[in-house]
Amino acid sequence: MRTTYQTIIVKFKESITELNGIFNDTQSWGAATLKEWIDGYESTRFTQTDSHTAVITSEYNMEHVTEWLDRHTAFDRLNEY
């Protein structure tokens, strides 16, 4: 059986550190950082590559992740691979 993962590279307009401020109410969000929130999606991983950029991989939740990013963040570029 072969598993296929989707990959996106996102360059946020704000730094990832600033975006982590979204999660200041950790109890409500169930996460303290953007990485923790995205990694909470089953089969999904967030890897920060610099202050504004991250690589996100997901086996089957990418649609939900990108929808959430559209609603809660602003980004300069979203490349899908």
**Tens of pLDDT along 12-68?**
999 999 999 999 998 899 999 999 999 999 999 999 999 999 999 999 999 999 999
| Cα–Cα distance, 45 to 54 (Å, whole number) | 10
Evaluate the CA torsion angle 38, 43, 48, 49 in order and state its sign. Answer: negative
Residue of 1 and 34 predicted with greater confidence: 34
Give the pLDDT score at 60: 92
Give residue 8's pLDDT band: very low, low, confident or very high (50, 70, 90). very high
Six token digits for residue 75? 């980004």
Give the pLDDT score at 22: 93
